[in-house]
């Protein structure tokens, strides 16, 4: 195979879709600031190219979980504002301050460590409040002491509180509304303490679209910028979003078999008539969920057919009937439904999970290619 040939297992990312999705979401949401979330390898789309594409589409902040992800963006020469919000006890806060990375701080201990990390550059922090997700952040009970200490450190010139933020549980209208009220109380406590954070933010993609009252100064948009819906009851196309990723593989083998042929481990699939089986060289080691055995949809020879039998570590089989299919033809697992391809959501439905998990777990031997950078 020549080096320029298409990879046998390819996740192709159309970066113009990411830029375009940011533009579409910004028109819907209209906050002053837009953070593109590029954690977890840009949701399995490539962190650095996705970040650049999102900035080209009008995002003015980047969000990641941990500092290693933030340092990777800086190492690639990306100078846009970056916020990282999930830190272990040894995380390199001094390196973050040097690199101009904002620290999301979730405890008094992290606040003190941020202040101690200030050198020639002063630590920029954003205070994380747990308004009801029950995950990271200080609770409302701890909030008064937390913002008082933040204000004291800011008064001493040891850090600057640039933002205050929280994250919704998407647990339903009433719970989200309760979180919004709790966030208002945290903002009031911060104001009483004398803090003037310019970035107040609460919503990720779902909340940003559905809850105008959760938008504040900035929204943190992850899944939506990749053209994947945050929920299984809405399609990205409803908002004008386009999936950026196409996962395909070159068919590695084709054979004609008689009725009654058992397929793959355990023979959970058996042919009912003479038919053609095509072998797709992707398996659970590449992030294809084994739970989608017998169900995951594949576009091959112009038709969508389910995986036949078990998905194995490296490969699975599709029964294409009498459709003419040849070795080297592309089997598309994930793409744009507008082109007849299955979606990440379809694979999520086939394996009882969410589309986030489908795209972020892709890996193994899949080669990533990117096009459409502006
Ligand atoms: C992952 C994450 C987001 C992005 O969520 P989406 O639903 O993908 O838009 C936003 N904020 C925080 C704190 C996150 O961890």
> Which run of H or of E encompasses 94?
helix 93-98
pLDDT of residue 140: 96
The count of residues in the chain is 374
pLDDT of residue 3: 59
pLDDT of 245 reads: 98
* 228 CA → ligand 1 middle, Å: 13
| Pocket lined around ligand 1, Cβ cut-off 6 Å | 37, 39, 85, 167, 204-206, 220-224, 230
Distance of CA 73 to the CA centre of its chain: 16
Indicate if the alpha-carbon torsion angle 178, 181, 182, 183 is positive or negative.
positive
Q: In testing the pocket of ligand 1, which one of 21, 29, 37 has its CB within 8 Å of the most ligand atoms?
A: 37
Ligand 1 atom index nearest CA of 224? 9
Q: Are strands 269-270 and 262-263 parallel, antiparallel or unpaired?
A: antiparallel
The reported pLDDT for the residue numbered 98 is 97
Alpha helices in 237-353 (DSSP H): 344-350
Using alpha carbons, select from 43, 47, 44 the residue that is nearest to residue 68. Answer: 47
Predicted pLDDT of residue 5:
84
Cα–Cα–Cα angle for 234, 235, 241, rounded to 5 degrees: 125
* C-beta separation of 280 from 331 below 8 A: yes
Concatenated DSSP letters for 20-80? Answer: HHHHHHHHHH--SEEEEE-HHHHHHT-HHHHHHHHHHTT--EEEESSHHHHHHHHHTT--S
Residue numbers of the chain with a pLDDT score lower than 50: none
How confident is the model at residue 171, as a pLDDT?
85
Is the whole-model pTM more than 0.95?
A: yes
Beta bridge partners of 246: 12
Q: 85: CA distance to ligand 1 center in Å?
A: 11
């Amino acid at each position: 195979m020549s080096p320029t040939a298409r990879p046998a297992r390819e996740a192709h990312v159309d970066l113009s879709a990411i830029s375009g999705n940011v533009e579409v979401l910004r028109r819907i949401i209209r906050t002053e600031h837009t953070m593109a979330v590029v954690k977890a390898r840009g949701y399995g789309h490539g962190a650095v190219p996705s970040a650049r594409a999102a900035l080209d589409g009008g995002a003015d902040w980047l969000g990641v979980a941990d500092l290693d992800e933030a340092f990777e963006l800086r190492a690639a020469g990306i100078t846009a504002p970056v916020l990282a919000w999930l830190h272990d006890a040894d995380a390199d806060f001094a390196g973050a301050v040097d690199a101009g990375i904002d620290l999301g701080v979730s405890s008094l201990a992290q606040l003190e460590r941020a202040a101690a990390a200030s050198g020639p550059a002063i630590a920029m922090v954003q205070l994380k409040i747990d308004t009801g997700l029950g995950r990271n952040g200080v609770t409302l009970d701890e909030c008064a002491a937390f913002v008082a200490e933040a204000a004291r450190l800011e008064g001493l010139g040891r850090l600057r509180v640039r933002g205050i933020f929280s994250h919704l549980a998407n647990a339903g209208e009433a719970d989200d509304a309760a979180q919004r009220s709790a966030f208002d109380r945290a903002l009031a406590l911060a104001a009483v303490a004398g803090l003037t954070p310019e970035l107040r933010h609460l919503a990720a993609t779902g909340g940003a679209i559905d809850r105008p009252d959760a938008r504040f100064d900035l929204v943190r948009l992850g899944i939506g910028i990749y053209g994947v819906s945050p929920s299984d009851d809405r399609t990205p196309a409803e908002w004008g979003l386009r999936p950026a990723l196409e996962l395909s593989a070159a068919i590695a083998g084709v054979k004609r078999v008689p009725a009654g042929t058992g397929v793959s481990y355990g023979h959970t699939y058996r042919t009912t008539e003479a038919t053609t089986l095509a072998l797709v060289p992707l398996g659970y080691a590449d992030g294809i969920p084994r739970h989608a055995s017998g169900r995951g949809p594949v576009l091959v020879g112009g038709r969508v057919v389910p995986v036949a039998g078990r998905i194995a570590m490296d490969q699975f089989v599709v029964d294409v009937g009498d459709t003419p299919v040849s070795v080297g033809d592309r089997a598309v697992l994930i793409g744009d439904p507008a082109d007849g391809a299955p979606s990440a959501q379809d694979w999520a439905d086939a394996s009882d999970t969410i589309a986030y998990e489908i795209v972020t777990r892709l890996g193994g031997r899949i080669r990533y290619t990117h096009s459409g950078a502006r």
